[in-house]
Structure 1
Amino acid sequence: MSEALLGPVVGATLLAPHLKFASHSYQSGMGYTLIREEVVTQALCDLWGAPKLLNNPIHILAAANGDAWLRIVEDRTCAATTPLKTQGWMALEVNVADVDVIRAEIDTTVFKVIGEPAYLQISDAIKAMQVIGPCDEVSYITQIDKPVPPFELPMTKARTGSLFIPVLCTQNRDVSLAFYEALNQVTGIKFDTKVTVLKNAWGIDIEHQYPVATLQLGGNCLFEIDQVPDAQPSVLNAGSLPSGIAMITCMVDDIAFAAKQLNLPVSQIQNAYYPSSQVMLVKGPSGELIELVERPAV
């Protein structure tokens, strides 16, 4: 069992030029449920350093397993981003019971399929497909058939389930891994492997092996870190959040330890998306944003 300070992953926030379209796409195309509508409060603006978003609408959506992990924030003037070509949070790996069912039923006019269902090079127990969604976010839709040691990964019987692996794009795997190892107090695993969606996006030889790392988190979650040397900086929006996958939210066992380590303040925010009221925003080595939320006592 992992001794990680980080985890589980709470969810991801997407920045949408058209909130209702993006929200409806997940409801009709993936079977998500809209469970709450709210607006960006002053407290959230202050936490995010995003004054332009004050009073902008937010949708919180739950997957079929009931986990309300997807938060979509509207910014009608946000710039477009190029999937798989920018640093920061590159993809969201989401658990499903049967990836072939999703492939047969998904609305391909909204979710562009960039990788057909296939078992991964690293394991014949993991079958995944890849899509680009309505906010230029990439999702890895993943079926896990059995345990995959040494990784601690979730399995689900629900049509769609939780976000369990945020995938980070970086120009330097070792620097990014060291940053999160220090926060997590657990050593990651480094290896080279084929990443077909990256190979296709960049037009690189099919046999190319990417430097990759994984870092085990609590709650059967991981961070994956992919080194892409030519990736450009994430697309920023003045007074707002980064385009596409704007941020990841993750629980932390000791937020005071993290705050001291990073020399960052902790905010007190009452919001149903967060499992507790103590939250801090961290910027990682590749410009990625991650909210750390104090893990509630059991």
Structure 2
Amino acid sequence: MTQRQLTGVRGATLVAKDIAEVAKAYTGGLHFSVTEETQVSPELAECWGAPSIAGQPMLILAAANGNDWLRLVQDPSAVEFEPLKRLGWMSLEINVRDVDSLRQSAIDSGFEVIGEPAYLAMSDAIKAMQLIGPAGEVCYMTQIDREVPPFELPQTNAKTGDLFIPVLACADRDQTSDFYQDLHQADKPLKFDTKVTVLNRAWKRPIDSQYPLATLQMGGLSCFEFDQLPQASANHLSQSGLPSGIAIITLEVQDLDAIAKRINCPVFEFDETISYQSRRCIMLKGPSGEWLELIAQKATTS
């Protein structure tokens, strides 16, 4: 296998009308903490193609394990949408120590439980609960008790840990798989059909209905999941030009310049760190209108 170009998920950006409300839900219900309060810089707004969002409040939140991977951006023109029924980033799968212990605090803080804690049909080592948050985002709170080959998945001793699977609602599984494998230049997607209970409930389909899915393993004990939903609506942008809800997934990559050259896209450079301690990034849109932010892999110290 060639070297993985997508070395891990760095974070997610939620866009909402009131990020103070969103932050209160995550800090009160899921044991996150606010690590930075700032504003969207003109440079970052320009990078996103949304110049009117400059000056809007922006918060960075860390999970209970201390990793600051959640970015909140305020957009007064954010649009309402029905969770699980539009193309683009559909849900965030978050590693947790004990999913049952989070249920009541999540409810008390404004999350809606749409899937009670339960072990997955595919593995008795994975127990998950599905929530809808205040920005319309869906969160899969996932407890992993042991290794689950062939997947490379994290385990945590913290109440809440890292985002390890961004889940994408896509129009075409094969087209999406090809796009991300071309970016990754390594692992091949694993394709299969499976039951997704929260989708069956949302779409009022028989509970045993199956969906074409694919997963793509990345570095950093993270992977993508692609759920084929051709019946889903397009992901409409707000007046500012940003998606609402789960707007951006940020990935660390092995060689930012090599990717930029290979796919012929610009690298945005900033005078100061504006995105997860990075001064350089690539912005991409995927086949289903999803937004991706690519940044250089953080250097490790010996």
**TM-score when normalising by structure 2:** 0.95
Q: Which moved more, 1:110-119 or 1:273-282?
A: 273-282
Aligned to 2:269: 268
Q: Tell me the equivalent position of 1:218.
A: 219
In structure 2, what residue type is equivalent to 1:56? Q
Secondary structure at 1:135 match in 2: coil
Aligned to 2:198: 197
**One-letter code aligned to 1:237:** S
Q: Which of the numbers 283, 288, 291 marks the counterpart of 2:285?
A: 283
Give the partner amino acid of 2:105: E
Supply the AA of the counterpart residue of 1:208: S
Cα deviation 1:170-191 (Å, max 9, x = unaligned) = 1100000100000001211001
Q: 1:179 to 1:130 in 2, by over 3 A?
A: same
What is the one-letter code of the residue matched to 2:79?
A
Query: What is the rounded CA distance, in whole Å, between the counterparts of 1:128 and 1:257 in structure 2?
Result: 37
State the Cα deviation string for residues 45-93 of structure 1 (Å, max 9, x = none): 1110011101000010100000100100001221111100000000000
CA contact (8 A) 1:275 1:293 kept: no
In structure 2, relative to structure 1, the CA distance for the partners of 1:272 and 1:236 (3 Å cut) is closer
Alignment of 1:1-80 (within 5 A): 3-80=3-80
Q: Is residue 25–residue 106 contact of structure 2 (8 Å, CA) maintained in 1?
A: no
In structure 1, stretches of 5+ residues that fail to align are none
Residue 211 of structure 2 is aligned to residue 243 of structure 1: no
1:106-138 alpha-carbon deviations (Å, 9 max, x no partner)? 235610000000111221111000000010000
Q: Structure 1 length as normaliser, TM-score?
A: 0.97
Q: Distance in 2 between matches of 1:118 and 1:2?
A: 37
Aligned to 1:256: 257
Q: Alpha-carbon deviation of 1:236?
A: 0.8
1:203-238 Cα shifts (integer Å, max 9, x gaps): 011111110000001000000000012011112113
C-alpha distance in 1, partners of 2:146/2:241?
Answer: 41
Structure 1 stretch displaced more, 268-277 or 146-155: 268-277
- After superposition, the CA RMSD in angstroms is 1.4
- State the partner residue of 2:102: 102
Distance 1:164 1:203 in 2: 28
Aligned length: 298
Structure 2 alignment gaps of length 5 or more: none
Identity of aligned residues (%): 50
